[in-house]
Amino acid sequence: MSMRFLVRGTATLACVTLASAALLSPAAASPQVFGTSALSSTAFQKFAPLPHLPAIPSEDEIAKAKTSEAATAAAASELEAILSSANDRLQATSMAALGASDAYTEALVVLAQRQAEAETTRAKSDAARTANSKAKTALGQLAGDLYKSGGMGLSVQTLVTSDDSDDALYKASTLMALSSNRANTFASAEAAASTSAALDAQALAASTAAKEATATAESSRALAQSAADAQAAVVVDNQAQRDVLLQRLASLHNTTVALEGARVDALAQKARDEALKEQIAASKDAPAPVRPPVTGTTPAVIPAVPQAPAAPAPKPVSPAPKPAPKPANPAPQQPKPPVTQAPKPPVTQTPKPPVAPAPAPAPAPKPVAPPKPPVIKPPVAPSGSYTKVMVNYAMSKIGSPYQWGGNGPNAFDCSGLVQQAFAAAGKSVPRQGSDQFWAAPVRVPLSQMQYGDLLVFNEDGNGRFSHVAIYIGNGQVVQALNYSEPVAVTSLAYMTPYMTLYPYAARY
So what's the pLDDT on residue 170? 58
So what's the pLDDT on residue 398? 97
160 pLDDT band, cuts 50/70/90, is: low
The mean pLDDT value for 128-142 works out to: 80
**Residue 13 reports pLDDT greater than 70:** no
User: Tell me, what DSSP letter sits at residue 309?
Assistant: S
User: Tell me, what DSSP letter sits at residue 446?
Assistant: G
So what's the pLDDT on residue 418? 98
**Residue 413 reports pLDDT greater than 80:** yes
Tallying the residues shown for the chain, one arrives at 508
Ranked by mean pLDDT, the top range of 114-118, 134-138, 155-159, 492-496 is: 492-496
The mean pLDDT value for 465-482 works out to: 96
How high is the mean pLDDT of the chain? 73
Ranked by mean pLDDT, the top range of 3-17, 212-226, 238-252, 374-388 is: 238-252
- pLDDT tens column, 368-385: 334 443 333 333 334 457
Top-confidence residue, 478 or 138: 478
**Residue 171 reports pLDDT greater than 80:** no
So what's the pLDDT on residue 279? 94
Radius of gyration of the chain (CA): 38
Number of C-beta neighbours around residue 349 at 10 A: 9
Lowest mean pLDDT among 180-184, 259-263, 305-309: 305-309
So what's the pLDDT on residue 156? 54
**Residue 324 reports pLDDT greater than 70:** no
Burial of 197 (C-beta count, 10 Å sphere; 0-12/13-18/19+): middle
So what's the pLDDT on residue 296? 47
pTM of the shown model: 0.59
255 pLDDT band, cuts 50/70/90, is: very high
So what's the pLDDT on residue 149? 66
So what's the pLDDT on residue 68? 87
**Residue 8 reports pLDDT greater than 90:** no
Lowest mean pLDDT among 182-186, 408-412, 421-425, 448-452: 182-186
Integer CA distances (angstroms), 268 to 274, 344, 496, in order: 10, 99, 12
**Residue 449 reports pLDDT greater than 60:** yes
Q: Go through 208-226 and write b for each residue having 16 or more CB atoms within 10 A of its CB, e for each that does not.
A: ebbebbeebbebbbebbbb
So what's the pLDDT on residue 4? 40
288 pLDDT band, cuts 50/70/90, is: very high
Q: Residue 471: beta bridge partners?
A: 477
Q: In what order do the strands lie in the sheet with 454-457?
A: 442-445, 501-507, 454-457, 467-473, 476-479, 488-491
- pLDDT tens column, 34-66: 333 333 433 333 334 444 566 888 888 898 888
**Residue 211 reports pLDDT greater than 60:** yes
Ranked by mean pLDDT, the top range of 152-161, 211-220, 233-242, 413-422 is: 413-422
Is 99 within 8 Å of 20 (Cβ atoms)?
no
**H-run or E-run covering 369:** none
**For the chain, percent of residues with pLDDT exceeding 70:** 64
**Residue 351 reports pLDDT greater than 50:** no
191 pLDDT band, cuts 50/70/90, is: confident
Distance CA 51, CA 53 (A): 7
So what's the pLDDT on residue 198? 86
CB within 8 Å of 239: residues ≥ 6 apart: 1, 6, 9
Integer CA distances (angstroms), 78 to 7, 12, 33, 65, 487, in order: 17, 18, 48, 11, 36
Top-confidence residue, 440 or 361: 440
**For the chain, percent of residues with pLDDT exceeding 90:** 29
Top-confidence residue, 450 or 159: 450
The mean pLDDT value for 403-419 works out to: 95
